[in-house]
Amino acid sequence: MKILKKILLVIASLIGIILLTALFVKSDYAVERQIVINKPKQAVFDYVKMLKNQNNYSKWATMDPNMKKEFKGTDGTVGFVSAWDSNSKDVGKGEQEIKKIDEGNRIDTEIRFIKPFESTSPSYMITESATENSTTVKWGFSGHMPYPMNIMLLAMDMDKMIGEDFNTGLKTLKVILEK
């Protein structure tokens, strides 16, 4: 009986330490990557504002060739929704909706993940003139992990994980647009 009490006390202490630590761990994260594309700003913006085009350059869109895709609304306009459903645990199920467009400059979307976990995160793409014939494209994403799940951010480098996928997508976008 004494051993069982000690084991329970140790387990309770570990849980307490984890919960206490989680109080001091950030809950929010943000990731952004950028690339310069040798194409005028408006041409780049016209391409990236169409969510269907993400199927051509987004790393996540190419991870499962059998993924089911569904589109609702008029692409390139506020309210358009691009949905996906994959049996791959790395892709899951979710949708992305255009929430705001600053024509020629920025598109804001909301990504709603359904599987393997539920969460909602804002995302954006910004185009800025680097020169007359080149454009800086910034792709960003932010998220929130509620307490006590935020403790996982100590072990997960979201900037590295998502950032590498953004870099892959931006490099592919550059190749497509510079053809």
CA 64 to CA 36: how far, in whole Å?
28
**pLDDT (tens digit per residue) in 50-78:** 999 999 999 988 888 889 999 999 999 99
Per-residue pLDDT at 143: 83
CA 63 to CA 92: how far, in whole Å?
10
Average pLDDT, the chain: 92
Task: Identify the CA nearest to 164 among candidates 136, 148, 145, 141.
Answer: 141
**pLDDT (tens digit per residue) in 82-111:** 999 998 888 899 999 999 999 999 999 999
DSSP three-state, residue 101: strand
> Which percentage of the chain shows pLDDT scores above 90?
63
Distance from chain centroid for Cα 36: 20
Residue 1, number of CB atoms within 10 A of its CB: 5
What are the tokens at 30?
Answer: 């943000």
Q: Global pTM?
A: 0.83
Per-residue pLDDT at 157: 80
Per-residue pLDDT at 52: 96
- Asked if residues 133 and 1 have their Cβ atoms less than 8 Å apart, the reply is no
- Asked if residues 77 and 101 have their Cβ atoms less than 8 Å apart, the reply is yes
* CATH class, 27-177 region: alpha beta
Per-residue pLDDT at 28: 87
Per-residue pLDDT at 151: 84
**pLDDT (tens digit per residue) in 5-58:** 999 989 988 988 888 888 888 888 889 999 999 999 999 999 999 999 999 999
Domain boundaries, given as residue ranges, for the chain: 27-177
Per-residue pLDDT at 153: 77
**pLDDT (tens digit per residue) in 117-135:** 888 999 999 999 999 999 9
**Cross-strand bridge partners of residue 41:** none
